Amino acid sequence: MSQSLPRLLLLTTSTLVACEPVLYRDVGEQGLLRGYVYDDYTYIGEYAVLDTAELSVRDKAGEPTGEIAAPTADTPGYWQVQVEPGQVVEFVVSAPDRLTTVRVTTGPTTLADFTPYVFPRAAEVIVPLFDELAAGLGTEDSTAFLAGEVGAFWMEPLNPSDWEGADISLMSNDGIAVPFIALADLGDGVITESNGLQVDQLVAPAIPAGRVILTVTTATGATVSQSWTVRAGELIDATWFHLPQ
């Protein structure tokens, strides 16, 4: 099933730092997230429901949490997840020929509908960039990640210009710095290391299994910290991560 959905849908949603955009509906139901899991539209070029996907939910400690209602024959690809309101949870979504992808969201105080952006990433989108960066800048390539030896991190900030002049760190839970690279898209096919410019992508091709913590201090002095659990072979997808103004 395919749908043509405008990018401007983002303007109708409410987004928390590092969280899935969701559309809230006050119907007296708390902590319920529901919606379709889609294929990676950045790869296939359309919004298509992925009825072969699997979805699990875990808490900040990496343990299973919540109640999940899986799709039925009448609603393929449609999932419902019940968690505690205000609880930070991780959606882990996988599918054949797709990367197991981790996203963070927060249990809503009411019912919340997914926008179409819950999806596992396609290796065809992620892996070439890892390998191009390795060839050009000497970072880790995709070998260990694809072999299931490490996890990886991928981010496309919601507002790249908010990251100009920001101080960024990515650390493991035991305080060890995780190598990453911040990239700026200057247009006309020119992508370079950010070095204080906007950040259009932030990439870490090899993360040890465990907790990873991103800390960003903006040029205005505001600080945001977000953590994820990552297991070997999983990709943290922090697309639409945004910073306070």
Q: Which of the listed residues 60, 88, 114 is the one where a domain comes to its end? A: 114
Which of the two residues, 240 and 214, has the higher pLDDT score? 214
Any residues with CB less than 8 A from the CB of 210 and at least 6 apart, and which?
172, 173, 174, 229, 230
Q: 85 phi and psi, to 5 degrees?
A: -55, 130
- Taking the CA of residue 56 as centre, how many other CA atoms within 13 Å lie in the half-sphere pointing to its CB? 11
Supply the pLDDT for residue 105: 86
pLDDT tens, position by position, 69-98: 999 999 999 999 999 998 989 999 999 999
Q: What percentage of the chain carries pLDDT values higher than 70?
A: 86
Task: Determine, yes or no, domain membership for 243.
Answer: no
Question: Cα angle at 170 between 169 and 176, to 5 degrees?
Answer: 105
| Of 111 and 150, the one with more pLDDT | 150
Q: Does residue 169 lie in a domain region?
A: yes
At 46-77, the pLDDT tens digits run 989 999 999 999 998 899 999 999 999 999 99
State residue 226's pLDDT score.
92
Neighbouring residues of 206: CB distance < 8 A, sequence distance ≥ 6: 140, 144, 145, 150, 151, 152, 179
Output the domain CATH number for residue 26.
2.60.40
Whole domain around residue 52: which residue ranges?
Answer: 2-114
pLDDT band, residue 245 (cuts 50/70/90): low
Tens digit of each residue's pLDDT (9 = 90 or more) over 4-40:
333 322 222 333 344 444 555 555 667 888 889 999 9
Q: With respect to residue 42, please indicate whether it lies within any of the assigned structural domains.
A: yes
Percent of the chain with pLDDT over 90: 66
Note the pLDDT of residue 115.
55
CB-side exposure of 86: number of CA atoms within 13 Å?
A: 0
Distance from C-alpha of 191 to C-alpha of 183, rounded to nearest angstrom: 7
- Domain boundary residue among 89, 114, 139? 114
The per-residue pLDDT for range 157-176, each reduced to its tens digit, is: 989 999 999 999 999 988 99
Task: Establish if 245 belongs to a structural domain.
Answer: no
How far apart CA 38 and CA 138 sit, in angstroms, is 34
Does residue 134 share a domain with residue 91?
Answer: no
Tell me, yes or no, whether 9 and 90 share the same domain. yes
Distance separating alpha carbons of residues 207 and 153, to the nearest angstrom: 7
When pLDDT is averaged across residues 203-216 and rounded to a whole number, the result is 95
Average pLDDT over residues 113-140: 88
For residue 10, give the 3-state DSSP assignment: helix
Q: How many domains does the chain have?
A: 2
Q: Is 49 part of a structural domain of the chain?
A: yes
pLDDT for res 9: 29
Q: What is the pLDDT of residue 11?
A: 26
Least confident of 93-107, 113-127, 197-211, 224-238: 113-127
Return the number of other C-beta atoms located less than 10 Å from residue 175's C-beta: 7
One-letter amino acid for residue 150 of the chain: V
196-201 average pLDDT score: 93
Domain end residue (candidates: 81, 114, 147):
114
Q: Are residues 135 and 172 in the same domain?
A: yes
132 and 64 fall within a common domain: no
Strand intervals (E) in 7-148: 22-25, 32-36, 47-48, 54-58, 67-69, 78-82, 88-94, 100-106, 111-114
Same domain, 135 and 211: yes
Residue 242 domain flag: no
**pLDDT at site 1:** 45
